[in-house]
Structures are given as C-alpha cells and as structure tokens.
Amino acid sequence: MDHQSHIILPTAFLPPLARLRTFSGAHVSASLRTLRDFYWPSVPSRLTVPVRKASTRIHDQSVPDSGYASAEEDDDDEGGGEGGGEGGGEESDCLTDEEEDILRADPFEREFAIKWTTGFISRSDVWIEDTHDEAEAETRRDLVEEAAQIVSAFAGDDKETECAVTRSFEFSGSVKVELNDAPLSSEDHTSVGLQSWASSIVLAEKMCASPGAFGLDIMSRPLRVLELGAGTGLLSIVVARLSEAGLPPTIVATDYHPDVLANLNANVETNFPSSSSLIHVRRFDWESPDFNHPIDKPFDLILAADVIYHAKHAEWIKGCVERLLAPNGIFWLIIPLRSTGRHEGMDHTVEAVFPESETAYGLVILDKEAIGRQGNVGRADEGGYKLFKIGYDLNPPEEVEVPTLVESKHATFNLKRTPADGQKAYYTALKDAIQLARNQLGDELTAWRDAVGKAELNKETNKTLKEDEEGEEEEEKEKE
C-alpha cells in the first residue's frame, strides 16, 4: 500500500456487489490489494483516513463468524462507495500507530469486509462467465482464489502464514508430531509446501486411528514408504511414529522446492534427533523424475496429500506411481474439494487419469471416500476431501476383445495364463494376447490388401477389355 496516498476504509473502497458485473478484474484486484494492505500491512504505516462525521469510529457489534456469508444479503450493505475505491476529497489527518490499530480492530469495518469478501466468492461464477476474454477470465479466477485466502486470514490463518510457527499435533494412539510451518513466500507460489495443509492432517488422523487399513500393522517385513509432495513431512513422520514398535521401514519424503526441502529436513530432525532417522529427504520432480537411490526400487506404500494444483500434475504423478508402486502396493491420495477458484474440481483430474476398477484393470482406483470438513481444520474454500485408494487390479477379464480392420468385427483372444503369480505373469499374459492380436490383424490386413489389389486389377482388366471391344466396333463401322 502506498502510505502517502489518500486511504479510506473498507465500507468506502470495496465496490458494490450488486454491480459486480460492471467491474473489471483490474478494479477488483486493486480493491483486494487495498483490503489486504489495510488489515495486514507489510511494514508499519502512517495511514491517512478521512475524518468521519460519526461521533466515534468504533462500533459495538461483535465480530461475526468468518464462514461464507449468504449471497442473498441486502445489496446495499454489501458494497462501498460509488467509486469502488477512489474515495472522496474530504479533510484528512494522520493517525498514530495506536489509532491505526483501533481502525483495523473496528468490528463494523471488519464485519463488512468479511461479508463483502465471502459475498464476492459466492457470486464469482457469474462474474467469471460474464467475460469472453480468456485472459480476463483467468485473472478473475485468480482473484477468487485471492479472496479465499483473505477469508482464511480473517479466520485467523494470517497468524500462521505471516510468520513461522511451531505446531504440535497429537493424533489417535497418542501419536505426537511437532512441525515448523515456515512463512509462505509472497513472490513464489510454488513454496506452498512450507505449511501443513488440512488434507495431510486429515489423512494422518485416519492412519493413526486405523493403521491396519493402511498396511501399517505388518511386522513380518520392513515396508518401503514414499511420500510425494511431502511439504512439512507430516505423513512421513506419522508413518515413522507408527512403525516404532515394529521392523524399521524405509521412508523417503520427497518435494521439489529448495526452501520446502530445507524445512522438511528441519522437521525430520526435530522429531527424530538421532542421526539414524528412518526418513530420507530427497528432491523429486514429477515431470522429469530421477529414479536414483533411494527412489530406485518399488514402494509398498505411496502417500500424497493436496498435491494436485494443475491437470498435468495428475498425469505426471501417475507416471511416477506406475514406475514406483510395488505389485501389491497401495497409493493413497487425498484431495481437498475446493468450491471456487482455479483449483476447483482438481479431484476430477485424478479420476480422468486413473480409471475405476469396475471399468478397467492395471493401475486403477480401487476405492474412494468422501470426507467432510473436520471442525475448524482447513481453508475457507475447502468443503471436504476425497481420499483415493489406488493400486493394481491383478484380475483382468479372461478374454479381451481387440478391434479388427475387417467389417468392424472384434477378434477375441484368451488370456491363458492366470495372474496368480502376480503382476509379472499378468503382463506376460497380456503381452501374449497383444502379440496374437497383432498376428491376426496382420493376416487380416494382408488379406484385405490382396482383396483390394485383386479388385483394382480386375477393374483395370475389365476397363481394358471394354476399351478393346469398343475399339473393334468402331473399326468395323468405319469399314462399312
């Protein structure tokens, strides 16, 4: 915020929601930036505000719950001045730091700002659809995401994102974890792994409540566990805690961003001060994976929480899981169900690349579970979570139909070998079937080409014979 400029309060600079469709993305962006700077200034400021005619700047109403407000509120209460942020030229004076804090704490202004922001989110779909410019539409989607972050900040999340905090968790079974949530970079959106997100907390609790359901009660052999997009390392640390009574597993916690990896290492050291920690921290790029030690052998368990922020992410992750998941292993993936913004519907990108087990075989979705919000855990735009259980379906159908080139028929090939010996036998059988299909298709293609060739030859022969006959008839006519 430019503290030399003429600053006014949210009730004056936020544009009326009743006329939201008339405001551009640039206008709303400026309003959100002003709102953020007003409540969370980056540096101590000297605010200049208009002298108000009211006898006091502070109202008596209490601060409301910061959940999403209804879009059906009175429009007159949801918008500010006609200028939508330009303010009037009233007399102004400088405020002391104490007066600035009083203004930010004004419950009336705060209530209005929360109500406006949540109302903006609820109306955003229509606002986004109003533009036919794709760049403008993308800008508007980003602004909805920014508004959701502001709502979370009003709910108290700002304390967690503005500075580093140590968070202590105690899950079912007396599993205790201590994590450092480092401040997010305002200039690098890829550093989101510096903080513990609700998805990982929800999955961690489920693992602690029912270790057997996640294969964490197997004591006969040491497990190999991989966490993708580990962030603060919560899931890896929980697995290590749950395994303390059994054979020590090999746990590899991976991420991409250097700051995230540094914080991840610090969290591992905090929870396991011994130099012989079970958890190996490694950099891992899903798009261009490097399968070097210790990511060079199959894993019994792969975990990932809130790691899908683009449709390509699901595709990249699938490629990694296909390479790294053991034949009988399970990939657990939990996704937040966000109702607004550019990350809305990310769970559908998972379902697009991993087919259901009822309709396919190979690496498929074996099961999925919808999980509701857990109390106050999670961002304001998270309506719940979807947990995917993904693995290999080693029971393909006995017969496979392969389309042929002749009359749109199908040739049926029997998978003679059963998958009793596991994944290798299954794919060997499938390979045999494919080879049979290729041979059959090759024979049919050759026959088809021969038939076409003969038809063309006959056509040319008939044409020549006809031309000869016509020529002979013309010669006879000329002689007559």
Q: Where are the domains of the chain?
A: 10-161, 165-393, 399-462
Burial class (CB in 10 A: 0-12, 13-18, 19+), 389: middle
| Cβ pair 225, 301 in contact under 8 A | yes
Give the model's pLDDT for residue 97. 60
Q: What is the pLDDT of residue 292?
A: 94
Amino acid 155: pLDDT: 76
What is the CATH code of the structural domain delimited by 165-393?
3.40.50.150
**What string of pLDDT tens digits covers the 480 residues of the chain?**
444 444 578 888 899 998 999 999 999 999 999 998 888 876 443 333 333 333 333 333 333 333 333 333 344 444 454 444 433 334 445 556 666 667 777 888 888 899 999 889 988 888 998 899 999 989 998 999 898 888 888 876 444 445 667 888 999 999 999 998 765 544 444 444 456 778 999 999 999 999 999 988 766 678 999 999 999 999 999 999 998 877 889 999 999 989 899 999 999 999 998 766 789 999 999 999 999 999 999 999 999 999 998 889 999 999 999 999 999 999 999 999 876 666 677 888 999 999 987 777 789 999 999 998 877 676 666 788 999 999 998 665 555 444 443 344 444 444 444 444 455 555 565 566 666 666 666 666 666 666 666 666 666 666 666 777 777 777 777 766
Q: How many CA atoms lie within 13 A of 451 on its CB side?
A: 7
At 464, list the tokens. Answer: 């020549």
Residue type, 427: Y
Torsion sign over Cα 158, 381, 345, 197: positive
Q: What pLDDT score does 239 carry?
A: 95
CB crowding 193-204: b at 16 or more within 10 Å, else e: bbbbbbbbbbbb
Give the H/E segment covering residue 48: strand 48-50
- E strands, 222-351, are 224-228, 250-255, 279-283, 299-305, 325-338
Please report where in the chains the tokens 């210790």 appear, as a residue: 294
Give the integer Cα–Cα distance in Å for 194 and 214. 26
Q: Which of 314, 171, 304, 178 is nearest to 235 (CA)?
A: 304
CA atoms within 13 A on the CB side of 17: 25
- Output the pLDDT for position 300: 95
From CA 353, how far away is CA 230, in angstroms rounded? 22
d(CA 78, CA 114): 10
CB 384 within 8 A of CB 337: yes
> How is residue 222 written in tokens?
């040491």
Is the separation of the CB atoms in 255 and 230 below 8 Å? yes
| Dihedral Cα 125, 127, 128, 132, nearest 10 deg | 140
For the full predicted model, state whether its pTM sits above 0.75.
Answer: no
What pLDDT, on a 0 to 100 scale, did the predictor assign at position 225?
97
Confidence (pLDDT) at 183:
59
Count Cβ neighbours within 10 Å for each residue of 8-19 and write b for 16 or more, e otherwise: bbbbbbbbbbee
- Kindly report whether the peptide bond that precedes residue 211 is cis, defined as omega within 30 degrees of 0: no
Phi/psi at 57 (nearest 5 deg)?
A: -85, -15
